[in-house]
């Protein structure tokens, strides 16, 4: 039965997962900003003296959708860098989990309707209560891992903070300012330079006439295939089913069924888990996982500077053991066929 007091007994264990993801196809992470590029070519079919500027469109330039970036202040300079926001990883994992572990009739339970949609809010409440009544609907697992939000004024709605926390590292390249445009190098005078990028063009079709949509032609920046970045997952008070679900995510990422970023429908965002490492840290009196026999106790850690080192017990979790935890998902999903790792 659903319990919104997930940490009432304190924190007794932490599961840590480290991934290095390789972009098998280009990846699009937008931030809503439009920047400008200039083309000195006399025709639209040839590029000449391309220049990208990280500023709003001017009268002599063309708009291009920017690639997500952050910035930091170093001395008197502001340095910008590309990175994949943790929210993109979290959203992709949550969406895949909902689609594959929850029956479609319960989808409204985990989708917050607009405040002015009275009928939608009523349906959301009924569906959420129905989904949380029984453990095997999958709703409890999703709410426990990713959290459950509710309007502050609605005290009857359940809510809780999620046990899953995600961090990402920036792309590690340097001096990569030029942008590839169909084999032509586009100069950039400023902006991030820590990832290889390319500018693509897209022209959506009209759904009625199947002709080019008027005004639909647009350019956007994307991370080129072959780039890598690191993701760190932390699950508080992990259950056996959590480890099984992580194994599912790895499988689906490698198979191209779980993608990161936008435009996955046209082939963007396919990843490969190039490197992976897992650790479980527990208090000496922490509840044991049912799959404890799959773990390997070790004194040394790749995180020798971790605040838990020397205080809690550490277990290494070999990647090949994650599939063995998949059966524990059946208690939360009613034995859904999608949870099989065989």
Question: What pLDDT sits at residue 304?
Answer: 56
Q: Please answer whether residues 185 and 52 qualify as being in contact, where contact means their C-beta atoms are separated by less than 8 angstroms.
A: no
Q: List pLDDT tens digits, range 74-97.
A: 888 888 899 999 999 999 999 999
C-alpha angle with apex 219: 218 to 222, nearest 5 degrees? 140
Reduced to 3 states (helix: H, G, I; strand: E, B; else coil), residue 281 is strand
Q: List pLDDT tens digits, range 249-274.
A: 999 999 999 999 998 888 899 999 99
Q: From CA 30, how far away is CA 106, in angstroms rounded?
A: 30
Strand 296-297 relative to strand 271-282, pairing: unpaired
Q: From CA 328, how far away is CA 335, in angstroms rounded?
A: 9
Q: List pLDDT tens digits, range 282-314.
A: 988 888 888 888 888 775 655 555 666 667 888
The predicted model scores a pTM of 0.87
Reduced to 3 states (helix: H, G, I; strand: E, B; else coil), residue 190 is coil
Per-residue pLDDT averaged across 194-207, rounded? 83
Question: Does residue 231 have a pLDDT over 50?
Answer: yes
Question: Does residue 335 have a pLDDT over 50?
Answer: no
Rounded to 10°, the helix 118-133/139-146 angle is: 100
Pick the closest to residue 245 from 168, 110, 141 (CA basis).
Answer: 141
Q: Which of 24-28, 71-75, 205-209, 261-265 shows the lowest per-residue confidence on average (mean pLDDT)?
A: 205-209
Regarding predicted confidence, which is higher, 297 or 152? 297
């Amino acid at each position: 039965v659903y319990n919104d007091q997930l940490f009432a007994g304190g924190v007794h264990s932490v599961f840590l997962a480290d991934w290095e993801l390789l972009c098998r196809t280009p990846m699009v992470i937008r931030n809503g900003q439009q920047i400008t590029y200039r083309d000195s070519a006399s025709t639209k079919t040839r590029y000449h003296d391309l220049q990208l500027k990280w500023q709003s469109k001017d009268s002599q330039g063309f708009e291009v959708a920017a690639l997500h970036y952050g910035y930091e202040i170093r001395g008197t300079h502001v340095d910008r860098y590309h990175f994949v926001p943790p929210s993109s990883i979290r959203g992709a994992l949550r969406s895949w989990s909902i689609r594959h572990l929850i029956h479609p009739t319960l989808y409204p339970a985990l989708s917050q309707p607009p405040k002015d949609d009275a009928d939608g809010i009523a349906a959301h409440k009924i569906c959420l209560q129905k989904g949380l009544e029984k453990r095997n609907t999958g709703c409890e697992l999703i709410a426990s891992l990713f959290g459950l939000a509710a309007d502050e004024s609605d005290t009857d709605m359940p809510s809780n903070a999620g046990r899953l926390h995600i961090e990402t590292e920036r792309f590690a390249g340097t001096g990569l300012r030029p942008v590839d445009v169909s084999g032509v190098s586009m100069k950039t005078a400023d902006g991030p330079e820590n990832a290889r990028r390319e500018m693509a063009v897209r022209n959506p079709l009209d759904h009625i006439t199947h002709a080019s949509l008027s005004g639909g032609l647009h350019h956007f920046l994307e991370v080129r295939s072959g780039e890598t970045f690191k993701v760190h997952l932390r699950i508080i008070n992990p259950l056996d089913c959590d480890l099984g679900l992580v194994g599912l995510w790895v499988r689906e990422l490698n198979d191209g069924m779980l993608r990161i970023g936008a435009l996955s429908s046209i082939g963007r965002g396919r990843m490969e888990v190039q490197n992976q490492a897992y650790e479980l840290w527990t208090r000496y009196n922490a509840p044991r996982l049912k799959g404890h026999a799959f773990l390997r106790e070790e004194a040394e850690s790749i995180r020798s500077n971790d605040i838990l080192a020397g205080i809690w017990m550490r277990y290494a979790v070999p990647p090949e053991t994650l599939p063995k935890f998949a059966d524990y998902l059946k208690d939360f999903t009613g034995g859904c066929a999608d949870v099989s790792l065989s």
